[in-house]
A and B are shown apart, each in its own frame.
Chain A
Amino acid sequence: MTAVSAPSAADAPAGNPLWTFGFALIPAGITAGLLLLLPAVSAGQAVELVIPWVPSLGISAGFRVDALGLLFALMIAGIGTFVFLYAAEYMRGYANKLRFFILLTLFMVSMLGVVLADNLILMFVFWEMTTITSFLLIGFSHNKAVSRQSALQGLLVTGAGGLALLAGLLLLGIAAGSFDVSTLLADDVDVRTHGLYTAVLVLVLIGAFTKSAQFPLHFWLPNAMAAPTPVSAYLHSATMVKAGVYLLARLHPVLGGTDAWLWSLTIFGSITAVLSAIWALQQTDLKQMLAYTTVMALGTLVMFLGSGSEAGVAAAVTFLVVHALYKSSLFMVVGAIDHATGTRDRDRLSGLRRGMPIIWLIAVGAGFSMAGFPPFLGFIGKELKYEGALAVASEPWLVAAAAVLANACMVATAGLICLKPFLGSPGRFDGTPHDPPAAMLIGPLLLAAAGLATGIAPEILGTSLVGPAVQAVWGDPVVVKLKLWHGINLPLMLSLLTFAAGLAIYRYRETLRGWLTTLAARLPVTAEGAYDHAIAGFKRAAAVQTALLQTGRLSRYVSVIAMSMAGLLVLALIDGGTVGFAWVPLLHALASASLLGWTAFALIAVAVPVIIWSRSRLTCICSLGAVGVAVALLFLLHGALDVALTQLLVEILFVVLLALVLVRMPRLNQGRKPRVVRRIAAVNALAVGGLVTLTLLAILNQPFDGRVTDFFEAKSVPEGYGRNIVNVILVDFRALDTLGEIAVVAAAFLAAVAVLRIFRSAGVGPADGVGTGRPATGTAPVLPADGVPAQGSTP
């Protein structure tokens, strides 16, 4: 398999403007600012910033930096700094660099928003922003089908999860009585015993699992490799996928601890961890292997967040840091290899150690942390994991077994990434292996070094960040001691077992891959296959639905609308229980109606059939005018003086407009419908018309609350200084409505003017009718001036 996202140098301008490096200042500045907050936050304080947003709904744009938020924010901005720096060099050959860096910055900002927002709704807004920006970043090489497809897949999966999350967060806010995270955490609101708990849990978990790529919704993440490598490095280490983990960690004190929480997180997490660790071994693309190990890491994190023990949470938080450090630097290593050799195929890569010594050094540093060798931070993380696994509330041995198996595969995968490509004789690739420029080295080097430094001196990390963060997740004060040597105990034994198993897997990797490949080919159903089927089915349903409803025949649309409206009116009448009328008073009222009322009705009753059947344009215009006058008369009879005046004036102007237009239109008898269609039209018309009358009578039978009118009547003179109540309502009480309405009026008329002006320059006028102004599509049927289509008989 060839590298999918190798830089396409052909279509890009050469050179590397300095400003691309300037973008790295943004995350660097944020990191510095966050570090200033570190002492206060480590001491257990939380820094808050609140801006009222929608106060009536209790939604505020509040931000709150506590230990957990700061841990994530530091990873996002800190690793972001190096990713931006790396990208400035890596993207040298790409076009649209400005777009890329703006997107990357937006992505970072929305990620920071997710982890620092103090309001569930605000957090959700940022959450969706990460979905959208990651869609644009994954599909950045939009001229490649694979990129577009992967981006869409990621968007659909995480977007669907986002919908579930929104519902979950709303229910959570209702159940807890507040949308503020700090209130949720501080108060003794017990959501766990609330009736909505199960619904909240399921919906939130769907959101978190889709974002953090848990089985069986994991497949979008390896496919997201279509993104340029800096994006992958960022997406996989510190951002995007960690959003789901953050959500679970953040809501742990609110939702966690129940059986449902323990079991669902443990089961989904462990399955995800084990399966993806195994599948990582089957991959040949180095980036793809890393992607699967990310899924494995996410599974592990979820599994431990569901452990229901202090040690488990401590393991999760520590591993979070471990993983962010080694994963970002390994991705950047793979990007450098790809850059230098043009391939990421592990079968073709070997003997790179001579050409790229510094990259090898970094790879070994990060890879050993990944494999969990002492004295790297990865070792501490792994020891904590085993300790946590054995302390798991639900099934310690299941979790421990999953952790050992997954870690053994990780050892082998680490070997495949940091040893295999660099040892042996030079492999079959095109470029000359060489270390990349400094900008691409400094990030991975420092991140790998951080993995080593924090492994040797873990206390600083433990007391300043990890400890307080664990406390934030766990809810109660906990003591977390990070140290390399815990003595000879069960976790150490498990570590030794892991290394042995890992070495064995590394030794027999080719055999194993053979088996896995055979297995992959024979799997009856895969998650991605199911996704493809679902999408295909959706498209088919849309096609069928479209063919059924969107026939392109206006009369059919009108029929459907009329029938639906009739149906809805019938439902409304039945639902309102107003079918049975008091007919006698109605007839009585009819008899007592005034002569003028009857005149207006008679005018309408005569004019409407005339409009329907007359073929004379002039007759139609006159009849329409008569209808307008009759309606104005009805207004007048009900004391609506202003309305009647407006109606009359509009009617006059409209008749003038009609007259101006109709002389340029063909005769009215053109294109008569078949008898069947006319019958349907008649039935629809009578049904809807009759139902409107019945509904209106039913409405008029209901009691009415006229307090609003009373208010307007009473306040018109004292507060509106006007004696025409209608006008006072228009220009004072409800002036905002009127403002909107005059905007619509202006838009409608000026748009009509624009429509008249279009094509006038192209020379289409009433005289030449067809042709000269037509856009050159070449596929449209030629329509002669008499209005009969020249081709295409109707089905």
Chain B
Amino acid sequence: MNSLILTAASRAIAALMLLFSAYMLLRGHNEPGGGFIGGLIMVTAFALYAKSFGVDAARRALFLEPSHIAFAGLLLAVLAGAAGFLAGEPFLTGLWLFLGASGDDKGLPLSTVLLFDVGVYLVVVGSVLALFFELEA
């Protein structure tokens, strides 16, 4: 596709979408969003990028082999679940750590649940992109 407008705009749009996808992922526990939605946005960004600059450029931009990302995500999700064992809880029990919590302020919540959602995100990104890159190659 040789659209000048698309080519010119898509770099910026893709970058914005990447940012947006990370935002959707991280806020997902409290607002609409989450691993699935964030992952799909990321895929859309890369599909757009691949459309304008070619698959090879998109592959280089992604830096990692998409199928590896998918497997890493699956592993991360399983490990996040297994972390429950450390606390003597059943598999997939969420563990929470509130950094800098004081009184009313809950601080920065970190949790295995978030790691799990990141795993979901990576699986969606990796597996869907693997197919798109393969198909356009």
Contact = CB atoms under 8 A, between A and B. Distances in A.
A753 B131 contact: yes
A745 B123 contact: yes
A730 B33 CA distance: 11
Nearest to A656: B47
Given A649-B41, A735-B92, A749 B128 contact: yes
Contacts of A646: 36-37, 40
B87 to A, nearest CB: 14
Nearest to B40: A649
A742 B124 contact: yes
A77 to B, nearest CB: 39
A730 B30 CA distance: 13
B135 A742 contact: no
Contacts of B116: 731, 735, 738-739
Contacts of B44: 649, 652-653
Contact of A746 (B32, B109, B111, B123): B123
Interface in A546-573: none
A653 B40 contact: yes
Interface stretch (B2-10, B56-64, B66-74): B66-74
Contact of A739 (B32, B81, B134, B136): B81
Task: Determine chain B's interface SS by DSSP, over half rule.
Answer: helix
B43 A653 contact: yes
Contact of B132 (A657, A738, A739): A657
Contacts of B123: 742, 745-746
A735 B34 CA distance: 13
A726 B117 CA distance: 13
A355 to B, nearest CB: 68
A736 B82 CA distance: 11
Contacts of A743: 74
Contacts, number: 128
B91 interface: yes
Given A746-B74, A749-B130, A721 B96 contact: yes
Contacts of B36: 646, 730
A742 B77 contact: yes
Contacts of A656: 47, 132
Interface string A154-187: 0000000000000000000000000000000000
A54 to B, nearest CB: 17
A642 B96 contact: no
Contact of A749 (B28, B33, B81, B131): B131
Contacts of B96: 721
Given A736-B91, A739-B78, A746-B74, A653 B29 contact: no
Contacts of B111: 721
B94 interface: yes
A672 interface: no
B40 A745 contact: no
Contacts of A748: 127
Task: Determine chain A's interface SS by DSSP, over half rule.
Answer: helix
Contact of A642 (B33, B47, B78, B119): B33
User: Considering residues B32, B71, B119, which has the most beta carbons from chain A within 10 angstroms of its beta carbon?
Assistant: B32
A732 B112 CA distance: 9
Contacts of B120: 730-731, 738, 742
Nearest to A650: B40
A750 B67 contact: yes
Interface in A636-677: 641-642, 645-646, 649-650, 652-653, 656-657, 660-661
Contacts of B43: 653
A752 interface: yes
Chain A's interface size range is: 35 or more
B134 A756 contact: yes
Contacts of B132: 656-657, 660
A646 B131 CA distance: 19
Contacts of B73: 742, 746
Nearest to A749: B127
Nearest to A741: B120
A727 B34 contact: yes
A649 B33 contact: no
B127 A724 contact: no
A757 B134 CA distance: 8
A728 interface: yes
A719 to B, nearest CB: 9
B31 interface: yes
Interface in B98-127: 109, 111, 113-114, 116-117, 119-120, 123-124, 126-127
Nearest to B106: A721
Given A641-B32, A722-B30, A745-B123, A752 B92 contact: no
Contacts of A753: 67, 130-131, 134
Nearest to A736: B92
Contact of B33 (A727, A745, A757): A727
Contacts of A746: 70-71, 73-74, 123, 126-127
User: Considering residues B34, B43, B91, B126, which has the most beta carbons from chain A within 10 angstroms of its beta carbon?
Assistant: B34
Interface in A730-780: 730-732, 735-736, 738-739, 742-743, 745-746, 748-750, 752-753, 756-757
A724 B32 contact: yes
Contact of B131 (A652, A724, A736, A752): A752
B47 A723 contact: no
Contacts of A645: 32-33, 37
B40 A721 contact: no
Contacts of A721: 29, 94, 96, 109, 111, 113
Contact of A727 (B81, B117, B128): B117
B130 A750 contact: yes
Interface string B22-54: 000000111111111100110110010000000
A217 B70 CA distance: 55
Interface in A613-627: none
A720 interface: yes
A27 B117 CA distance: 53
Contacts of B29: 721-724, 727-728, 731
A723 B40 contact: no
Interface string A396-412: 00000000000000000
A660 B35 contact: no
Nearest to B121: A742
Nearest to B29: A722
B63 to A, nearest CB: 19
Interface of A: 641-642, 645-646, 649-650, 652-653, 656-657, 660-661, 720-724, 726-728, 730-732, 735-736, 738-739, 742-743, 745-746, 748-750, 752-753, 756-757
22 contacts: A641-B32, A660-B135, A660-B136, A721-B96, A721-B111, A721-B113, A724-B29, A724-B31, A727-B33, A727-B117, A735-B92, A736-B92, A738-B116, A738-B120, A742-B119, A742-B123, A745-B127, A746-B70, A749-B127, A750-B70, A753-B130, A757-B134
Given A641-B32, A657-B132, A721-B29, 16 more contacts: A642-B32, A642-B37, A645-B32, A645-B33, A661-B135, A721-B96, A724-B29, A727-B117, A731-B34, A731-B113, A732-B113, A739-B92, A742-B77, A746-B71, A746-B126, A748-B127
Query: Which 3 residue pairs spanning A and B have beta carbons closest together?
Result: A749-B127, A649-B40, A722-B29
